[in-house]
Amino acid sequence: MTTESLLIVVLALLAIVTVIGIFATKTKGFGRYSTSLVLLSSALFLGALFLAIGKIEGASFMNILFAVAGYAGGLIAPSKETSGKPDS
């Protein structure tokens, strides 16, 4: 088994364990956070897989990582609640 094949198998196992962990620990139904978590996990797995098989370069994968981190940061950042009245 080549190093590339071993890397792909390890990535696939990690993705499977991640998805099982997400569905085992989440509450019933799909809300904003559950859907986003599955989406971000899928994007990271596909990006890592494409990097491992040589379809994208490291710089492109870094862009994917920064996009995922930015999206995840926006999900957990406290939002300012407004009451519909302008600030004075």
Q: What is the pLDDT of residues 53-74, one digit of tens each?
A: 888 898 999 998 898 888 887 7
Three-point CA angle 68, 35, 15, nearest 5°: 65
Over 60: is that where the pLDDT of 44 sits? yes
Q: How far is CA 9 from the centre of its chain?
A: 19
The dihedrals phi and psi of 82, each to the nearest 5 degrees, come to: -115, 150
Give the tokens for residue 78: 């406290």
> pTM (2 decimals)?
0.69
For the chain, the structural domain boundaries read 3-76
Over 80: is that where the pLDDT of 20 sits? yes
Alpha-carbon distance values, 33 to 6, 19, 39, 69, 79 (Å): 32, 14, 10, 14, 15
